[in-house]
Amino acid sequence: MSDLQRPPASGAAWADESDRDRAPARPREHTVVGGDWQELPNVVDDDLMIINMGPQHPSTHGVLRLVLTLDGERILDTRPVIGYLHTGIEKNLEYRPWVQGVTFVTRMDYLAPLHNELAYCLAVEKLLGITGDIPERASALRVLLTEFNRVASHFVWLATGGMELGSTTAMIFGFRERETILDLFEEVSGLRMNHAFIRPGGIAMDLPDGFVPRARTAISALRDRIGEIEDLLTENPIWIERLTGVGLLTAAQCLDWGVTGPVLRSAGVAHDLRKVTPYCGIEQYDFHVPTTDTADAYGRYLIRMEEMRQSLTICEQVLDSLPEGAVMVADAKIAWPAQLALGPDGIGNAQEHIDRIMGKSMEALIHHFKLVTEGFTVPEGQVYAAIESPRGELGYHVTSSGTNKPYRVKVRDPSFLHIGVLPTMSHGLQVADIIVAVASVDPVMGGVDR
Amino acid sequence: MDLVDVAITFAVALGAFALWLVGTALLIWGERRVIALMQTRVGPNRLGPFGLLQTVADGAKLFFKEDIAPRNIDRFVYLGAPFVSATVALVTFAVIPYGGTFQVSGREVTLQVWDPNIGMLWILAMSSLGVYGIFLAGWSSGSKYPLLGGVRSSAQLISYELAMGLSLAAVFIYAGTLQASQIVANQQIPLFELGPIAVPAWHVVPMLPAFVIFFLTSVAETQRPPFDLPEAEGELVAGFHTEYSGAKFAMFFLAEFMNVITFSAVMVTLFFGGPSGPLFGPGWLQALLPTVYFIAKVGIFLFVFIWLRGTLPRMRYDRLMDLGWKVLLPLGLFWVLATGFAVVLRTSTDQGTVLRIAGVGAGVALLLYLAAPLLARRPRRDTQPEPEPEPKFPTPSR
């Protein structure tokens, strides 16, 4: 632990008294370096208290552990501890064919499963060199699904954040509206979460019949509900008071720490990968990137609410201009051989396909077998593909050694980087405020630990 | 005083006890149902009609649960704290009249357990004692979250106790008595008459600021949202009762909800005429109606308590203190002075002298108010603003 990080020996080091009861207007410069856990503050002489918030705590978004050094209710030091949800997904990817990777990555940031799938697939497609061959309909549906997913993720953020601030109604509202979107996802992919629906080369199957009008109804319903939530919270004096000036992080600090997403945009930087490096033809839709200059939790709240509206606008435009055609690349050496269909026992391989490989064509059977068990090979090389997930830049650095499995998949998960700035954001706040600060960066531990 | 009197007193006490206990069970059920309605959910609806027996089942479960106590507790205090909370919550309502007066075999029966001439002071005293239950629980648990919760709650309760006492003092000055039955009787006189309807002189009309203060402080005293900081689950897990389980936890739980009912009942007694209301019909109905009015009035306040929880997020600790000390306390002080002035003016025979004294007092107060900024010690500040320091956080090499 460096000297900068060490809490002052007595209360005297605080600039002045007004500093004590309110967060400083300018965030305190604060260095966090890799520290030695043997070095602990002198709790006895300095009247400090070290408290473990988490890994089992109602407000740490799963299993984040924060070791807080407290002076009364003031936080002098925060040390985030991660690893309690380590799943080994990144390592596991190296032992599975490329297509099966989708099933793994969707479980990392479990609130944005489709974003993980999309970023992974974009990277694999880049390696395969088929980025230009993806059918337009597949790209449009990818945009539709990921934008819906963004709204669902923001609803969970609202629900958990509201719950942590004691607003149970916000919690119920958030989860209730999210169900609308999960129902749509279930209709499309058969699963509410962890869809493994976006595959290298396209998407697993086309939309079911009658999906478009139902999606339109859902969008208009969601618009109303977002308005309802805004009525409840945006002007609520306690809500404003709890969020304003909490979790300050300036634009410079955001850039230095690699912070992206709503946290960066709340500091006034209109950086959104959908605009900066558009993917899946998202540049043809009309939307704007909301920003605020407050750099605090309230700004992030406003940004997320507006982003939900913008995402719904995108979804509407996709539905309006949905191109016809295939949803998977034409290359039969990459495209999954079978189309899925609803059978008497649930979703499975389409009956015609089974008839064909089992009854008519030996070559088709061999092809199916090879592609399903062994998978396709990907040329040697390494690429980085990034998209704008609900939490920020979600990047996949994928290396291939030319085999049917990845050599290495390194994920740049925004939550991981955002956990790193918690000490900076929470320095000098109160215990109640760190809850708001954590909620405002919206970390998902599944993505952090991988 | 003979055996019949003893029996009647016992029956009245039993009635109050039953009313409060059943009320608590109904409140817990009602809170869950009402909040569920507000949040488009169903709420408990399985046990009994409309799920009414859910609380009974929950209570039974709690009492049969394994009783876990952590190792490093102060055992005596740890075990005693829930009893303090529950007992204090139970005895508070003894002084509240919950019905009218009627005749039973020639004797006059009043539905009020105890009507001492210090009635309302009893409530203040008991609610102050309630702090001990919470604070001792937080301290004796030997754990950090309960300690923070206990410290928060004792600070919160003591702060709001002051403003609450002041708002009550204004009512006492106005009513000229501390006795609950007298305060109720004082509100029976019609304030003015609108044709056939006589608007009763409920204290809420002349004492509106006192009512507002009392309402806010009672939300804080009962630790209900948005002032539920001692047990802010988002921050302190469960606050002072984190380490409690089973029957001991049930006592805290019971005490909290019972306090909600008690404070609603106090509000009704002090500001909304207690059990009074238009009486009509046969004798038995006339005896019953006051209790019905009382329950209905209390029910409205209980709904407001639940409504608050459904609408508002939790306040922050320091903001809560600001509200108590910087807003409610000065307002309470001012209102006590204003009420005192009005009462003295009304009863005095020499009004000129009263007005002169009050005028001098107001002048001095105004002078002090204007002079306060000059007298206040100003924080020392450097004349030169500090230059912006070089960023100390790691920056990428440029």
Residue extents of the structural domains in chain A: 89-329+377-448, 340-373
The span from the CA of A21 to the CA of A100, in Å, is 53
- Say which residues have a Cβ less than 8 Å from residue A18's Cβ, sequence separation at least 6: B379
> Among positive and negative, which fits the CA dihedral B12, B14, B17, B20?
negative
Question: A-B interface: how many C-beta pairs under 8 angstroms?
Answer: 108
| SS3 label, residue B188 | coil
- pLDDT at A307 > cutoff 80: yes
Residues sharing a CB contact under 8 Å with residue B370, sequence separation 6 or more, in sequence order:
none
User: What residues of chain A lie within 8 A of the CB of B318, using their CB?
Assistant: 21, 73, 430
The H or E element containing residue B101 is: strand B101-104
Contact (Cβ atoms closer than 8 angstroms) between residue A290 and residue A310: yes
Q: For residue B39, list chain A residues with Cβ-Cβ distance below 8 A.
A: 168-169, 172-173, 176
Q: Which two tokens stand for residue B302?
A: 């209980």
Phi-psi region of A67 (alpha: psi -120 to 50; beta: other; left: phi over 0): beta
Residues in chain B: 398
* Cβ–Cβ under 8 Å, residues B242 and B232: no
Residues of chain B found within 8 Å of residue A163, distances taken between Cβ atoms: 234
Query: 3-state DSSP: chain B helix, strand, coil percent, rounded to 5?
Result: 65, 5, 30
Contacts of A233 in chain B (CB under 8 A): 313
Residue in chain A closest to B149 (alpha carbons) equals A73
Of A319, A108, A90, whose CA–CA distance to A220 is shortest?
Answer: A319
Report which DSSP code applies to B199.
E
Average pLDDT along chain B: 82
Nearest to A253 among B237, B381, B393 (CB): B393
Q: How does residue A383 score in pLDDT terms, banded at 50, 70 and 90?
A: very high
**DSSP letter string over A295-317?**
-SHHHHHHHHHHHHHHHHHHHHH
Alpha-carbon distance of A253 to A30, in angstroms, equals 10
**Widest distance between CA atoms in chain A:** 85
SS3 B300: helix
pLDDT tens digits, residue range A25-83?
Answer: 455 555 555 555 666 667 677 778 888 887 877 777 778 888 888 887 788 888 888 88
The candidate with the shortest Cα–Cα distance to A383, out of A198, A60, A119, A170, is A119
- Give the type of residue at B184: V
Contact in structure between A48 and A71 (CB atoms under 8 Å): yes
Ordered by start, the domain boundaries in chain B are 70-369
Looking from the CA of A14 toward its CB, the CA atoms found within 13 Å total: 18
Compute the average pLDDT of residues A276-300.
89
CB–CB contact A431 B41 (8 Å) = no
- Report how far apart, in Å, the C-alpha atoms of A42 and of each of A35, A75, B106, B367 are: 16, 15, 75, 49
The answer to whether A298 faces chain B, any CB pair under 8 Å, is no
Angstrom distance (rounded) from CA A420 to CA A423:
7
Contacts of B148 in chain A (CB under 8 A): 51, 73, 431
Burial class (CB in 10 A: 0-12, 13-18, 19+), A10: exposed
> What residues contact B264, with CB distance under 8 A and at least 6 apart?
B218, B298, B301, B302, B305
Least confident of A10-14, A42-46, A302-306, B254-258: A10-14
Alpha helix locations (H) across B272-350? 283-311, 317-322, 329-347
> Distance between CA B372 and CA B252 in Å, rounded?
44
**CATH code for the domain defined by A89-329+377-448:** 1.10.645.10
Lowest mean pLDDT among A159-173, A204-218, A283-297, B220-234: B220-234
Name which residue leads in pLDDT, A89 or A26: A89
Q: Amino acid identity of B154?
A: S
Residue A19, pLDDT > 70, answer no
Verify whether the Cβ–Cβ distance A432 to B317 is below 8 Å. yes
Across chain A, mean pLDDT equals 83
User: Is 90 exceeded by the pLDDT of residue A384?
Assistant: yes
Q: CA A70 to CA A51: how far, in whole Å? A: 7
Of A16, A29, A176, the CB nearest to B393: A29
Locate all alpha helices (DSSP H) within A234-295, ordered by sequence.
237-243, 251-257, 262-266, 273-276
Say whether residue B75 is in contact with chain A using an 8 A CB cutoff.
no
Asked if B309 reaches chain A (Cβ–Cβ under 8 Å), the answer is: yes
Give phi and psi for B249, each to the nearest 5.
-65, -40
Predicted confidence (pLDDT) per residue in B108-131, tens digit: 777 777 778 887 888 888 888 888
Query: Who contacts B244 (Cβ-Cβ below 8 Å, separation ≥6)?
Result: B82, B137, B141, B252
Q: What SS3 state is found at B108?
A: strand
Which residue has tokens 């009492």?
B63
Cross-chain residue pair B313–A252, CB shorter than 8 Å: no
| Strand duo A346-349 + A381-389: pairing | unpaired
Closest by Cα among A217, A205, A215 to A337: A205
- How far apart CA B309 and CA B304 sit, in angstroms, is 9
Cα–Cα distance, A66 to B320 (Å, whole number): 25
**Contact yes or no for B148 and A73 at CB 8 A:** yes
Nearest to B393 among A49, A236, A256 (CB): A256
- Identify all chain B residues contacting A4, using CB atoms and an 8 Å cutoff: 392
Instruction: Please give the single-letter amino acid code of residue B132.
Output: Y
Residue A184 has pLDDT above 70, yes or no: yes
Neighbours of A95 (CB within 10 A): 10
pLDDT tens for A211-261 read 999 999 999 999 999 998 888 888 888 888 888 888 888 888 888 888 999
Decide if B234 and A165 are in contact by the 8 Å CB cutoff: yes
Neighbours of B265 (CB within 10 A): 27
Indicate yes or no: CB of B234 within 8 angstroms of CB of A435: yes
CA A429/CA A407 separation, integer angstroms: 44
Range in A286-300, A401-415, B88-102 with the lowest mean pLDDT = B88-102
Q: Which of A112-121, A175-184, B286-295 is predicted least confidently?
A: B286-295
For A336, A338, A357, the CA distances from A349, given in Å and listed in that order, are 11, 6, 11
Q: Residue A57 and residue B237: Cβ atoms within 8 Å?
A: yes
> What does DSSP say about strands A74-81 and A65-71: parallel, antiparallel, or unpaired?
antiparallel
Average pLDDT for residues A415-443, to the nearest whole number?
A: 85
Task: Kindly report the backbone phi and psi dihedral angles of residue A68, in degrees, each rounded to the nearest multiple of 5, phi listed first.
Answer: -100, 135
Vertex B396, ends B393 and B398: CA angle to 5°?
125
Joined tokens for residue B8? 């009647």
Give the whole-angstrom CA distance, residue B284 versus residue B105.
13
Length of chain A: 450
Distance from C-alpha of B121 to C-alpha of A188, rounded to nearest angstrom:
66
Tell me whether residues B313 and A432 touch, CB distance under 8 A: no
A98 close to A376: Cβ distance less than 8 angstroms = yes
pLDDT over 90 (residue B221): no
Residue A68 near residue A450 (C-beta atoms within 8 A): no
Q: Is A19 on the interface with B (CB under 8 A)?
A: no
Q: Is B396 on the interface with A (CB under 8 A)?
A: yes
pLDDT for the residue A2: 39
* Confidence band, pLDDT 50/70/90 cuts, at residue B182: confident
So what's the pLDDT on residue B383?
55
Query: Which residues have CB under 8 Å from A330's CB, separation 6+?
Result: A133
**Is residue A399's pLDDT more than 90?**
yes
- In angstroms, the CA A336 to CA B390 distance is 56
Separation of CA B120 from chain center: 12
Cis before B385? omega within 30: no
Residue B379, token pair as written in the block: 């924080």
How is A64-107 classified by DSSP, letter by letter?
-EEEEEEETTEEEEEEEE--TT---HHHHHTTS-TTTHHHHHTT
Mean pLDDT lowest for which of A22-31, B50-59, B286-295?
A: A22-31
State the DSSP H helix or E strand holding residue A102, giving kind and residue range, or none if neither: helix A101-105
Rounded (10°) CA dihedral A423, A426, A427, A429: -160
